[in-house]
Amino acid sequence: MSRFKGMKRKPRTDKVAVEGSESQSEQATWARTQDRKTQLVRFGLFGAIGAGVLALVLVLSGFTVSSPTVVKPKSTTSVNTASQAQAEDLAQQFVVTWLQAKRGAEKSLAPYVRSEGIKLPAEALFVASDARIASVELQQAPAKSAAASGTGAPTTDKSEVYSVIVSASVRQVSEPSEAAQRRFYSVPVVVNDGRARAASIPSPVPAPATGPDVNLGYKYRIVAGHPSNTAVQQFLAALTAGTGEISRYIAPGTSLRAISPAPYKSVKVVDLVSDRDFSGEAADKAPADGIKIRVLATAELSVTATESVTGQYPLTLTSRGGRWEVSAMDPSPLLPAPEQNAAASGAPSTSVSTTPASATAPTSATPSTDIHERHPDEYSSTSPRPEHSPLGGRNPRMDQHQSHRNARHDPNPHRHRRLRGVAFTAVKSRFSMAPILLSGLVAGLLVWIVWNVTEVKDKVGSELDSMGHSIVVDAPEPRADLLGFPNLPDPHDI
């Protein structure tokens, strides 16, 4: 016992302070749950913003979800060619007979129409010839039958009504030296059970309207010294004038024959336009085999030693063995694609060694100065600036120059253009802007939710950190040894 004298025992504490583990566990669980909710809301926010941006990009790029187009089935009404031929033949004969009829010859009209009430001149007033069909249109059968008048045969469900336009060369009998004029007449014809009959006498009508000039797909003019021009010259000479053997100038497997007897004495190609640009190739360079080009040849066809006529031939040329051969006589000239035809201005583009192709008639070999090729700065103060092009419309060069002048005074010339483009696209997209506005509203709502959740989380976390409380528990009594003495501390711990 003496060895323990003077040794101080550590004070025994019956109570210890520990942090509330259960409360801390609940706080950690609540914090993790709120963190997951915040992450989900954040991901939803980003998804909504991304969807809105994607929808905006799609609308501005021209992509819109349109309703499916309902294609109406085409009418499958079959045309009775036999009935149409009967109507055409009766209309032609009726027009000629009616124009040349005179009083007392009413019976001549009886095979075509009811002649009662028709007034004819005392003598024939017109001489008609060369009757032709201008147009034929099958009329729709009436949906509801009307009350019939007269004693004629009634129409049935099998009756067909044709509106026939007949053209004829007509001149007055009193003017024998006057040239005949082309006149047009409308004749309604009813074909009933295989028998044709006119519903009324012919009615003079105006001539059908003609369309605008057709733009062709030949963009480049080929010069006279090019091998393709020489090949076309030799082919047309053999075809129309009988000069040389035509088989020498056509491709193998092509069945083309010369006109016999030859109608012309000689042929001269005055203009040749093509769909291929040869400006970057040497004129004496042999073409590779298998190349095909479409050309339109305009030639002077000599009838006599002093008189000639103009002819045009659309051809297809194929290269073989270093030369050009005619592989086909095209049934029609080359036409541009619909989108190119809509944007065409009537004058094809020019190239370095070839000149633009005309859509109708050949031009002079001497190139003329185009007003569009002059730079705006080349006009002097004395010479007027052309405001309009020779073909009509505004001069594009002057409009471009004016836009450049306006750009000098505008510090940001593209800004208004971009704004106009966005506004035009927004109006053009119609109801496609609704999803974008809805996406913006949803994105704003999500931003407000995330902002408030984050603020509440930070506030609660700060309050929990400031709450410092402890729990006091009873410490267990120290166990005694076998002799009844309490366990003394280890000397090494003192």
pLDDT tens, position by position, 156-168: 667 899 999 999 9
More confident residue, 98 or 396: 98
Q: Span 435-460, mean pLDDT?
A: 66
Identify the bridge partners of residue 192 per DSSP, sorted by sequence position: 195
Binning pLDDT at 50, 70 and 90, where does residue 59 land?
low
More confident residue, 12 or 28: 28
DSSP summary character for residue 263 = S
State the pTM of this model. 0.52
- Cα angle, residue 194 at apex, residues 188 and 196 outer, rounded to 5°: 25
Farthest-apart Cα atoms in the chain, separation = 174
Binning pLDDT at 50, 70 and 90, where does residue 20 land?
low
Residues 14, 474 contacting (CB under 8 angstroms) = yes
Residue with tokens 């520990």: 18
> Cα–Cα distance between 440 and 446 in angstroms, integer?
10
When mean pLDDT is compared over 78-87, 248-257, 377-386, 394-403, the highest value belongs to 248-257
> Cα–Cα distance between 153 and 192 in angstroms, integer?
9
> Cα–Cα distance between 99 and 95 in angstroms, integer?
6
Mean pLDDT of the chain: 74
- Cα angle, residue 88 at apex, residues 85 and 89 outer, rounded to 5°: 85
pLDDT exceeds cutoff 80 at 262: yes
How far lies 359's CA from each of 212, 218, 269, 340, in Å? 12, 8, 17, 14
Residues 231, 246 contacting (CB under 8 angstroms) = no
Strands annotated E in 37-180: 126-138, 160-172
> Cα–Cα distance between 113 and 201 in angstroms, integer?
7
> Cα–Cα distance between 204 and 214 in angstroms, integer?
29
Q: CB 80: neighbour CB atoms within 10 A? A: 16
pLDDT exceeds cutoff 60 at 379: no
pLDDT of residue 353: 42
Assign residue 204 a region (left: φ > 0; alpha: ψ between -120 and 50; beta: otherwise).
beta
Structure tokens at 10: 């550590």
pLDDT of residue 364: 39
pLDDT exceeds cutoff 60 at 479: no
Structure tokens at 435: 């999803």
Q: Which three-class secondary structure state does DSSP give residue 71?
A: coil
> Cα–Cα distance between 296 and 383 in angstroms, integer?
39
- Residue in 315, 296, 332 with CA at minimum distance from that of residue 251: 315
Q: Which three-class secondary structure state does DSSP give residue 261?
A: coil
Q: Which three-class secondary structure state does DSSP give residue 445?
A: helix
Residues in the chain: 494
Q: Span 175-202, mean pLDDT?
A: 94
pLDDT in tens, 314-364: 999 999 999 999 999 999 999 998 876 655 555 444 443 444 454 444 443
Percentage of the chain exceeding pLDDT 70:
55
Binning pLDDT at 50, 70 and 90, where does residue 240 land?
very high
- Residue in 346, 325, 81 with CA at minimum distance from that of residue 194: 81
